[in-house]
Amino acid sequence: MRLALILMLMAVQIARSEEFSVAAAADLTYCLPVIDDAFQKANPGAVVKVSFGSSGNFFEEIKNGAPFDVFLSADINYPQTLAKAGLVEAPVKYAEGKIVLWTMNGGLDVSRGLAVLKDAAVKHVALANPDHAPYGRAAKAALAHENLWDELTPKFVFGENIAQTAQFVQTGNADAGFVAMSLVAAPQLAHAGHYYEIPADDYAPIDQAAALTKAGAGKPLAQAYVAFLQSDAARKILEQFGFRLPK
């Protein structure tokens, strides 16, 4: 009887260790489920619970004790700051994001670059809130590089994260918007609208980084998950979704 109880408790413990939670930047909305599927095939029984949102918001939540096991940030500075505070393990860069100007308006020639946003026909321009969204900061930097930030400010519509920003464009609530290449390169949006890729020199690198929280560091599958993001299989998927890959 006692042996049966011990075995049952061990089974419960193992079952718990197979489940872990991930706080993921919204630019991974379409890409990460593909990666998770590949990870779960390599690790049968693994249950990955993902929440998508703004990297800056997740930073604040983890700092305040949110029970995530893995943090996938679109800005490496967030997990680096948490690591200095002893809240996460040292972050690992696994990709670099790209930003594009995207529109669903066939009459808007975004190949002209950011200058097209000055057209009177463009009433609203969507971008993620630069106060806490890395892609929003990249958009602001690109606009400032072209001396357009102040001039276009009245047209801006801010999304809470890059996925919401893309929704503004997709639904026509914005004439154009700055979104992640990983979203418009996804099969779900690949044939929707058209885009212009912002030159990489116009904004600081959008370094994607993974970090284990203190809770996640004690879970073997969470550790394996972070390692898997650096595998050839995951790198191939990331590249398909438009991310740059670190060497």
pLDDT tens-digit readout, 194-240: 999 999 999 999 999 999 999 999 999 999 999 999 999 999 999 99
Whether the per-residue pLDDT at 89 is higher than 90: the answer is yes
Percent of the chain with pLDDT over 90: 85
**Calpha distance 236→35 (Å, rounded):** 10
Neighbours of 201 (CB within 10 A): 7
Q: Are strands 19-25 and 70-73 parallel, antiparallel or unpaired?
A: parallel
For residue 175, the model assigns a pLDDT of 97
Whether the per-residue pLDDT at 4 is higher than 80: the answer is no
For residue 66, the model assigns a pLDDT of 95
pLDDT band for 119, please (50, 70, 90 cuts).
very high
* Region 150-156 average pLDDT: 97
* Region 130-140 average pLDDT: 93
Q: How far is CA 201 from the centre of its chain?
A: 20
Backbone angles phi, psi at 86, to 5 degrees: 80, 20
pLDDT band for 247, please (50, 70, 90 cuts).
confident
pLDDT band for 189, please (50, 70, 90 cuts).
confident
Question: What pTM did the predictor assign?
Answer: 0.86
Partnered with residue 24 across adjacent β-strands are: 52, 72
Q: What is the mean pLDDT of the chain?
A: 91
Tell me the residue type at 233.
A
| Own/partner long-range contacts of 216-224 (Cβ < 8 Å, ≥24 apart) | 216/20, 216/68, 216/69, 216/70, 216/89, 217/89, 219/17, 219/20, 219/69, 220/17, 221/17, 221/18, 221/20, 221/43, 221/46, 222/20, 222/69, 222/70, 224/39, 224/43
For residue 69, the model assigns a pLDDT of 97
How far lies 2's CA from each of 11, 12, 71, in Å?
14, 16, 40
**Calpha distance 2→103 (Å, rounded):** 65
For residue 192, the model assigns a pLDDT of 87
Whether the per-residue pLDDT at 1 is higher than 60: the answer is no
For residue 7, the model assigns a pLDDT of 36
List domains and CATH numbers for the chain. 2-96+206-240 (3.40.190.10), 97-202 (3.40.190.10)
